[in-house]
A and B are shown apart, each in its own frame.
Chain A
Amino acid sequence: MDLERTAETEALRVRARAWLRDHVPDRPLPSLETKEGFAAHRAWEAELYGGGWSAVSWPEEYGGRGADLFGWLAFEEEYWAAGAPGRVSQNGISLLAPTLLAHGTAEQRTRVLGPMARGEVVWAQAWSEPEAGSDLAALRSRAVRTDGGWLLSGQKTWSSRAAFADRAFGIFRTEAGAAKPHHGLTYLMFGLRDPGVTVRPVGRLDGKPAFAEIFLDEVFVPDADVIGEPGQGWRIAMAATGDERGLTLRSPGRYLAAAGRLTALWREAGDPADTALRDRVADAVIGARAYQLFTAASASRFAAGASLGPESSLNKVFWSGYDIALHETALDLLGPDAERADTAWAEGYVFALAGPVYAGTNEIQRDIIAERLLGLPKGRR
């Protein structure tokens, strides 16, 4: 049992650190969830691509470095420790791209991955609908067969990044009256500025349009933009939790960096006599290390050929709760300035608040943990 990195991983880490030191902007970019900030983050993606750092885990032929999970984890630690900007292309790079690599065609990979890696095409997710949130399989948006493709109609909502993004991916009902709700669904891609698409930005709690509703009225999608076989959309989408993608939504590096900043804030602004607050700072340090080591164990098992499956639900419940607690502690250290909305801690806090809701609510995740890891009987949700 060891925590040593291979020479290959170490070399990647050292190169990443050097590049980031020379390229990370001196001043924070404007908020990702504003038009101006979105454009600045898109430009940053292009700069990352120029250095070969926008998608380190992809194969080299698509602009990646072919890094394994340990390489990706090391890169992420360096990335967040360097204070680099949030990733506007994360939806595409960590969710759509692995799906294309596993289920897409060579033509799709060639056409989609390059522009994604360069930030030329930013992708939004289109999963939730007004009547299909936690019960995602209840979705109603449909794709109807037409000459050479499909016609999409319906409504998607809570689509992160969709206010400013270019394209979106999601699952749609292609067989009416299927035997079970998660049958007859198809995974496909469409343009957010295609004819028949209306995007209505939605302000999150702090007013920034971090997500949007998408209205679809007979939007044409060519067959070339269907991923995998029609009718297999649920299986393809859910595979995202069964492999390394369950680990890659939020990397330990984010939280190690955040815990370091919190500790620095506490040393600067904390009252040494306030041991209750001190304990919460310590919990942030402990939690970041726990998450780093938990992920190292998962990555070790994955490298040995194991599939990860429902343990990604433990992972998600952990980081989402952790992120909120860390930011609450930071706000408590800021005292009267905690109320200000124009600070990085405040922005991080608002971002963290959504964690237990998106990517499968923590209630759904706890059901999965109880039923699939502990073997408890299914019951009413």
Chain B
Amino acid sequence: MRFVLTDEQREFARSLDALLRAADTPGVLRAWAAGDHGPGRALWRRLGDAGVFALAVPEAYGGVGPLPVEAAVACVELGRYAAPGPVAETLAAGVLLAGVGGPAAKEWLPGIASGAAMLSLRLPGHGPYALDADAADAVFTVDGDGLRRAPGPGELSVSADPARRLFRPGPGGEPVAGGRAVEAASRAAGDWASFATAALALGCGEELLRATVAYVKQRRQFGVPVGSFQVVKHRLADTLLGLEFARPLLYGAAVELTEELSGGRAGTGSPEPGAGVGSGTGPAEGPPGSGLGTGRGAGSLGSGSGTWPGMGSPESGSRTGPGMGSLGAGAAVAAAKAAAGEAGYAAARTALQLHGAIGYTEELDLAWWLRRARPLRDAWGTPSACRARVLTG
């Protein structure tokens, strides 16, 4: 087991960090929010040159993917710099079109891979909006088992994050494909959109924490840095805790997506009888109870019978398999999205509070991150929807 990034993956992150640091994303975001896509498209092209979008595109179509771990690495960096544009949507569109195949795949996937094409999409169960559809070269929609190319971006709604432009594509449009292949590809694309958004949220939270730690070290009140106060420290410690425990869920989901792609066991393997969580007898948490019989049929008190109720059901909890257990790829993505979304938003609340009034202004560049954390928490799977999926698989 080696559950850490390789040197190459770290180097990839560093190269994207350097690219994005030089890009002045707050300036790009201001233009993007005003409807000027020029600087954003130029940055997009550079990200394409760096290989970001090829990560979701198979080699047959000019990509290098799908590579979930590298995609997570890239999206964390993009999140750290609040890069504009439909990042998760374009990656997910790559998965969608690769799954469907045919002329649309040939038409669009090479452009996605190179960074020449920017796509948006709307999938069933994920709301009516297609992000940044006016900037996209094409907008795809799925309704039921029908994939269409939308006739236009549709009506604009203002987002809480001015650089996330929400469009509501109208009905109709040119049919692209249909049938079960679309349903399956749409599910896979939804998982990828959720996965990429989780990574963006984690990166957004990381930057909010970094900027806030830097601020409380230099901001002085009562003659000392406010970061020396215990209540400030503990809030920041909790913010770090949330992010650091979301991160392994993100990469755990990346590993499960990789295994699913390679036809591995994740999400498909059946647990061995009596194996892992959800099996066994007796209490395992702390010292056992006094074991007094309850005289009741239901063993729901976990005492008396010596057997915990409902054990051995394969759907209960995670499983111990040949590897280190598995939630199944879909549930793993949902777990990562719920945790990263909540941690990123918690970082925004901490950042706003600890910056004080300056954090409540649009003049501070950090506003781009402060306003983005909550939309990222909710897009492509609200925390509640993700939690439900963790339990249902």
Residues of chain A touching chain B, judged by Cβ–Cβ distance below 8 Å, are 1-6, 9-10, 13, 17, 21, 24-33, 37, 41, 70, 77-86, 254-261, 263-265, 267-269, 275, 278-279, 281-283, 285-294, 296-297, 299-301, 303-304, 311, 314, 317-318, 323, 327, 333-334, 337, 340, 342-348, 351-352, 363, 365-367, 369-371, 373-381
Contacts and interface: CB of A to CB of B under 8 A. Distances in A.
Contact of B227 (A3, A265, A376): A376
Nearest to A73: B324
A9 B246 CA distance: 26
Contacts of A286: 249, 335, 338-339, 387, 390
Contact of B233 (A301, A345, A376): A376
Given A260-B277, A291-B245, A86 B286 contact: yes
8 contacts: A3-B324, A31-B290, A83-B282, A261-B285, A261-B308, A263-B278, A369-B240, A376-B216
A297 B308 contact: no
Interface string B179-192: 00000000000000
B286 A25 contact: no
Contacts of B15: none
- Main secondary structure, interface of A, reads helix
Interface of B: 1-6, 9, 69, 213, 216-217, 224-225, 227-230, 232-234, 236-238, 240-241, 244-246, 248-249, 251-252, 254-255, 274-292, 298, 300-303, 306, 308-311, 313, 316-318, 320, 322-325, 327, 332, 335, 338-339, 383-384, 386-388, 390-391
Nearest to A341: B290
Contacts of A345: 289, 301-302
Contacts of B335: 285-286, 289-290
Max chain B Cβ within 10 angstroms of own Cβ: one of A282, A297, A367? A282
B213 A376 contact: yes
Contact of B277 (A79, A257, A374): A257
Contact of A84 (B213, B230, B238, B284): B284
A290 B322 CA distance: 19
Given A264-B316, A286-B335, A343-B302, A296 B284 contact: no
Contacts of A30: 288, 290-291
A338 to B, nearest CB: 9
Contacts of B391: 263, 278, 281-282, 285
B300 A268 contact: yes
A31 B289 contact: yes
A378 B216 CA distance: 13
Contacts of B316: 260, 263-264, 267
A346 B292 CA distance: 13
Contact of A28 (B245, B251, B288, B298): B288
A334 to B, nearest CB: 7
Given A318-B241, A379-B224, A83 B387 contact: no
Given A2-B2, A77-B320, A267-B316, A290 B246 contact: yes
Contacts of A265: 300, 302, 308-310
Nearest to A6: B1
B240 A297 contact: no
B228 A81 contact: no
